[in-house]
Amino acid sequence: MKFFVDTADVAEIRDLADTGLLDGVTTNPSLIAKSGGDFIEVLKEICSVVAGPVSAEVTATDADGMVAEGKKLAKIADNVTIKVPLTWDGLKACRAISQHGTKVNVTLCFSANQALLAAKAGASFISPFVGRLDDIGHDGMELIAEIKTIYDNYAHIDTEILVASIRTPMHVKQAAMIGADVATVPPDVLRKLANHSLTDKGLAAFLADWQKTGQAIL
């Protein structure tokens, strides 16, 4: 499974990219606003740091406006992916933008039927929001399993399942077990994937034993 980070904090992205574990970035207007930087300039910098897809979201709500904004955003860098909402206009824009050879991430997906429409519209990625479904008493991971089953039924569908609104490491594990293609996670959740109390305990014991020897490697 590929890991994208869901942030517009360039310093965080640089730090995570240095691990070699980062495959892409997802952003949205809210995240860009939190960064405090200019929308276009922040996206340019992110695209220069990460070689993989960088999702840049349109703000128009009509299809023509989305396409126009998508064309402008696509000029920022070759690895820009245009993010559009899962509305009728968004699906129209997805079709038009994808036919021009630009990747499209269809976001705000909350049902398997929506995911099927996005695939038919030519989406490169579909972004189901598992955390927000959990918030209203639904099982977000059940949606991921449904989409996976539907997509696997049709060999011609190459839309990647990009699990979004991830809140915990458990969400990441469940997404991987289902077979999702991508998990986009906040930086703190990505770092938590490496944490385990027994790892910390074991390392502390090894270091204590090493200190007793009085030796040094360097």
Q: Which residues are catalytic?
A: 83
- The total number of residues shown for the chain amounts to 218
Eight-state DSSP code of residue 78: T
Q: Count CB atoms within 10 A of the CB of residue 111.
A: 14
Determine the Cα–Cα distance for residues 36 and 60; give it in Å rounded to an integer: 21
Determine the Cα–Cα distance for residues 59 and 89; give it in Å rounded to an integer: 12
Determine the Cα–Cα distance for residues 215 and 69; give it in Å rounded to an integer: 62
Determine the Cα–Cα distance for residues 105 and 123; give it in Å rounded to an integer: 6
Which residues, other chains included, contact 2 with Cβ-Cβ below 8 Å and sequence gap of 6+?
23, 24, 52, 181, 182, 183
Determine the Cα–Cα distance for residues 215 and 145; give it in Å rounded to an integer: 53
User: Which tokens sit at 86?
Assistant: 């899962």
Burial string for 166-196 (b: 16+ CB within 10 Å, else e) reads bbebebbebbeebebbbbbbbbebbeeeeee
